[in-house]
A = this chain, B = another copy of it.
Amino acid sequence: MERQVAAVRRFNRTVTQRIGALDDAYMARARPLAQARLLWEIGPGGAEVAALRARLGLDSGHLSRLLRALEGDGLVTVGPSDRAGDDARVRHARLTDAGRAEWTELDERSDRFAQSILEPLAGPHRERLVAAMAEVERLLVSSMVVIEPCPPGDPRARACVRAYAREVARRFDDGFDPALSSPVDDADLTPPAGLFLLATLNAEPVGCGAVKLRPDAPAEIKRVWVAGTVRGLGVGRRLLAELERHAAQRGRRRVRLDTNRNLTEAIALYRSAGYREVEPFNTERYAHHWFEKRLAPRVER
């Protein structure tokens, strides 16, 4: 671990600092960095002011002033949304022609900067750098995924469950009709009857998982799903572990689940997480495999 920490620190120092500083220098033209970044973030398609504030993490007053500055330079116009019926409080920033030209310039500079990094390297090294960068990026992204309890009625939770249903419908041999599957009630996934976990990346939902805690039955895990964009990065495993931890904490000694034979990664995950296949314990229409795992009793924490 110590060695790993040292490696991460060295990386932060050389890469983050140096590249970061250079990137800023390339970005800032005659303009203050914050303005350049904002212009960039608005982009050719325009953006809502609220979204910009969230993405750049700026104070509302500060952002307003930056927008006024860009407006003053004739690069941006800020006005209400063009679609009628939209919330008229929400304002929309758009690039003018001059702004678009400036944006293109920034885009090209960014390209040139990336090229200047690749250019001194010989072909194979170049390919290795790109591959390693992609790997770092993927893994860092996955380490930024946050998992927390969430009411199953939350819109983000609903979005995940819908995505889950869509995917399952695509992958099951005979499609998926929710009406034929045993239904799950929101109340069963709300503490203390159960728990729904939501995985988010930068506040965007990217996964979910739930556990049902019936009074004197084994805990039952449902709806473990991970978005394609972060699959293969251990998010599923983290969700599962978190659900098991919760069940153990609530005194359950066993946890079980059923799954479809086409969900091969899920089955692999369950096996490698210590689940053993058992006889069917329900009559779920779409299930082919039933798993169970014994939990070590855990102290309340």
In the assembled complex, the Cα of A14 lies from the Cα of B19 at a distance in Å of 12
Contact A15 B130 (CB under 8 A): no
Contact A111 B12 (CB under 8 A): no
A: contact size bracket: 35 or more
Per assembly, the copies of the chain total 2
For chain A residues 1-51, which have a beta carbon within 8 Å of chain B? 1, 3-12, 14-21, 23
With A9-B111, A15-B136: A142-B121 Cβ-Cβ less than 8 Å: yes
With A16-B19, A23-B12: A135-B137 Cβ-Cβ less than 8 Å: no
A68 CB within 8 Å of chain B:
no
Q: Which residues of B contact A129 (CB under 8 A)?
A: 8, 135-136, 139-140, 143
Determine how close the nearest CB of chain B comes to the CB of A181; give it in whole angstroms: 31
Q: Which residues of B contact A234 (CB under 8 A)?
A: 121-122, 125
Q: Which residues of B contact A166 (CB under 8 A)?
A: none
Contact A11 B125 (CB under 8 A): no
A278 CB within 8 Å of chain B:
no
Partner of A137, one of B1, B10, B233: B10
For chain A residues 130-186, which have a beta carbon within 8 Å of chain B? 130, 132-137, 139-145
With A114-B5, A115-B5, A136-B133: A14-B141 Cβ-Cβ less than 8 Å: yes
Q: What is A's interface to B at a CB cutoff of 8 Å?
A: 1, 3-12, 14-21, 23, 57, 110-111, 113-115, 117-122, 125-130, 132-137, 139-145, 233-234, 237-238
10 examples of A-B residue contacts, CB within 8 angstroms:
A1-B115, A7-B133, A8-B133, A12-B114, A16-B16, A16-B20, A118-B143, A129-B140, A132-B135, A133-B136
Apart from A17-B20, A17-B23: 18 A-B pairs, beta carbons within 8 A: A3-B130, A4-B127, A8-B130, A10-B133, A10-B137, A11-B133, A14-B141, A15-B140, A16-B20, A18-B140, A117-B143, A119-B143, A121-B139, A121-B143, A121-B234, A129-B136, A132-B135, A132-B136
